[in-house]
Amino acid sequence: MLQGLGNVLKKSIEKISSAIFVDKTLVESIIKDLQRALIMADVNIQLVKELSEKIRKEGEKYVKNVEKKEHLIKLLHDEIQNIIGNEKKELILGKKDTILFVGLYGVGKSTTIAKIAAWYKKRGKNVALLGLDVHRPAASEQLEQLGKKVDVAVFIDKDEKKAIKIYEKYKKQLEKYDLVLIDSAGRDALEESLIKEIKDISSKINPTHTILVIAADIGQAARNQAQAFKEACNVDGVIITRMDSSAKAGGALTACNEANAPVYFIGTGEKIQDIEPFNPQTFVSRLLGMGDLESLIEKVKSATDEKKQKETLKRLEEGKFTLADFYDQINSMQSMGPLSKITELIPGFGKAKIPEELLDTQGEKLKHWKHAINSMTKEEIESPELLEKQTSRISRIAKGSGTSTNEIRQLIKQYKLIKEMASGAGSLGDISDPSQLSQKQMMKLAKKFGKKKLMKFK
C-alpha cells in the first residue's frame, strides 16, 4: 500500500546516504521525486507545495555539511509525518459499547463491521451485529453471512423498512452484549436524505462511538466527506478501507488528518483478518523503509563515515581514486541493509503486489560488484584501465567471481564516472573539504556532469 510513495521515500534515503555530500541538487532532486509521488497518491497540491517549501528551506541548512545527512533524513521523515498525522488516536472502548458505522454504498462498511467484530471477539468481547441498512434488499442477508463467518450474533429484520423500528425491536436483547456494531444505510452520494436518516438514527440510538467508513479510492475527497459526516452525526473516527488496492491512499490519509478525523483502523484486503489499527508513526517509518527513525538514523550515521568521505574526496581530487575506494563506497551502501527485507515490514505490501524487484537487483548488483573486485589482482584494482585494454582479464574475473562480463563493464563504467568527476573537481581547485565548496563551484560541477549522479547505482 502506498507503494509508489514508499519506494520514492526509500530511494530518497538511499540517495542521501550514498551521496558524498549533501548539495542543493540532491535536495532538489528529492523534492522533485517526492512531489511527483505525493501527487500520484492524490495528496492535496497545496499540502505538497508547503511540504516542498519546508524541505527546501530547511534542507538548505544542511547543504555543504557532510555530517548533517541524518538531519536531512529526519526532516524528510518529519514532514511526511506532519501531513499523515503525528498522533495515534485509538478507539477506546468501555464495558459496553454501541458503535454506529456510517458511510456511502460500497465502501466496505459491512465487511469492515465483520472485521471489527472478529477483532474484538478475539480480544474477549461478546459481540453482536445489528443490520439497519434497510434500503438494499441484500444488505441484511450479507450481514447475516458475515456474522456467521466470524461467529457472532446477528440481528436483522428483512421485512422491516424502518431502521429505527428494527433497533427498538432488538434493543432489549442487545443489552446483554458488550459490543454492538450497527450497520446503517448508505447512499450513492452524500445527500440530504442520507444525512437526515443518519442524524435520526444517531439521536435515537445515541451510540458510544460513530465511525465513518471510507474507501481509500476517494483520495483527498475524504476531507469533505469526513467534515460533512462529522457535522451530521458526531463522527469520532474513521476507518479507511482498500488501503491495499488504491493508489490514492496518501490523499485519503492526509485528508483525514486535515479534517481532524482520526483514523482508527485501516482495511488492507478483503479477508476478515485484513485490518489493522492505524498508527501514523509506525506507518510513516515503514513507508520510509525502516523500523523506526532512531535505527534509521543510526544506520545512516554508520554508513557515512565522515572522515572516510573526506579522504575519498581527497583521493578523487588527486586522481588516486581506485576500485578499492569504490569498494568502500559499495560497502557503505550495503550497510543500509537489504531493501527487499524492509518491504516485508510494510503492511499489506507482500500480499498486494510483488515487492519492487529493482530494490532486490540493486542489492544483488552491489554484491556482484564486490565479488568481482575481490577476484581482481592488486594491479587491476589500482589501475582498472588495464581491464579495458585487455578484455581477457574481464572474462577471467567474471569466471572467477561468478558474475557476468556485462556486470563488470557496468562496474567499470560507474567507477569511471566518478573518476571523471574527480578531474572536473580538480579543475575547480581544492575540494578536500566538501563543506568549503562554494555554490559557484557546485554549480560548475553540476553543469559539467549534467544529469549524471555521482553514485547512481541503477
Ligand X SMILES: Nc1nc2c(ncn2[C@@H]2O[C@H](COP(=O)(O)OP(=O)(O)O)[C@@H](O)[C@H]2O)c(=O)[nH]1
Torsion, Cα 226 231 274 218, to 10 degrees, reads -20
Calpha distance 198→132 (Å, rounded): 11
CB of 115 to ligand X, least distance (A): 8
**Residue 270 binding partner per list ligand X, Mg ion, none, with a CB distance cut-off of 5 to 8 Å that depends on partner kind:** ligand X
Nearer to ligand X, 87 or 270 (CB): 270
Q: Does 184 bind ligand X (CB under 6 A)?
A: no
The footprint of ligand X on residues 323-352 (CB under 6 A) is: none
Q: Contact with ligand X (CB under 6 A): which of 10, 77, 223, 242?
A: 242
Looking at the DSSP bridge assignments, the partners of residue 101 are: 183, 211
What 3 state SS string does 377-440 have? CHHHHHCCHHHHHCHHHHHHHHHHHCCCHHHHHHHHHHHHHHHHHHHHHHCCCCCCCHHHCCHH
CB of 268 to ligand X, least distance (A): 6
Stretch touching ligand X by CB under 6 A, among 49-57, 73-81, 225-233, 242-250: 242-250
Nearer to ligand X, 81 or 111 (CB): 111
Query: Total binding residues for Mg ion by CB under 5 A?
Result: 2
The footprint of ligand X on residues 415-444 (CB under 6 A) is: none
Nearer to ligand X, 148 or 171 (CB): 148
Angle at the Cα of 276 from the Cα atoms of 274 and 279, rounded to 5 degrees: 150
Stretch touching ligand X by CB under 6 A, among 58-66, 77-85, 100-108, 298-306: 100-108
**Exposed/middle/buried for residue 131 (C-beta within 10 Å: 0-12, 13-18, 19+):** buried
**Residue 348 binding partner per list ligand X, Mg ion, none, with a CB distance cut-off of 5 to 8 Å that depends on partner kind:** none
**Residue 108 binding partner per list Mg ion, ligand X, none, with a CB distance cut-off of 5 to 8 Å that depends on partner kind:** ligand X
Calpha distance 269→435 (Å, rounded): 49
What is the edge-to-edge ordering of all strands in the sheet holding 263-267?
153-155, 127-132, 179-184, 97-102, 209-215, 237-241, 263-267, 275-277
Q: Name all contacts of 326-331 with Cβ < 8 Å and 24+ positions apart.
A: 326/373, 326/411, 326/414, 326/415, 326/418, 327/370, 327/373, 329/18, 329/455, 330/366, 330/369, 330/370, 331/370
Calpha distance 163→202 (Å, rounded): 11
Site map 90..109 versus Mg ion, x via CB under 5 A: -------------------x
Calpha distance 19→39 (Å, rounded): 26
Query: Total binding residues for ligand X by CB under 6 A?
Result: 18
CB of 154 to Mg ion, least distance (A): 13
Give the residue among 112, 106, 95 at the shortest CA–CA distance from 211.
Answer: 112
Residue nearest to Mg ion (CB): 110
CB of 241 to ligand X, least distance (A): 4
CB of 229 to ligand X, least distance (A): 14
**Residue 268 binding partner per list ligand X, Mg ion, none, with a CB distance cut-off of 5 to 8 Å that depends on partner kind:** ligand X
CB of 446 to ligand X, least distance (A): 44
The helix (run of H) or strand (run of E) holding residue 11 is helix 3-18
Nearer to ligand X, 132 or 454 (CB): 132
The footprint of Mg ion on residues 106-145 (CB under 5 A) is: 109-110
The footprint of ligand X on residues 247-306 (CB under 6 A) is: 267-270, 274
Nearer to Mg ion, 110 or 343 (CB): 110
Stretch touching ligand X by CB under 6 A, among 15-23, 241-249, 362-370, 448-456: 241-249
Angle at the Cα of 100 from the Cα atoms of 94 and 103, rounded to 5 degrees: 140
CB of 264 to Mg ion, least distance (A): 19
Site map 105..144 versus ligand X, x via CB under 6 A: xxxxxxx---------------------------------
Beta-strand runs (E) in 229-327: 237-241, 263-267, 275-277
Q: By the 8 A CB rule, do 210 and 202 touch?
A: yes
**Residue 59 binding partner per list ligand X, Mg ion, none, with a CB distance cut-off of 5 to 8 Å that depends on partner kind:** none
Stretch touching ligand X by CB under 6 A, among 58-66, 81-89, 237-245, 335-343: 237-245
Give the residue among 280, 219, 224 at the shortest CA–CA distance from 246.
Answer: 219
Q: Cell for 173?
A: 436483547
Q: By the 8 A CB rule, do 153 and 128 touch?
A: yes
**Residue 184 binding partner per list Mg ion, ligand X, none, with a CB distance cut-off of 5 to 8 Å that depends on partner kind:** none
- Kindly list the residues in this chain that would bind Mg ion in the complex (CB under 5 A): 109-110
- Kindly list the residues in this chain that would bind ligand X in the complex (CB under 6 A): 103, 105-111, 186, 241-242, 244-245, 267-270, 274
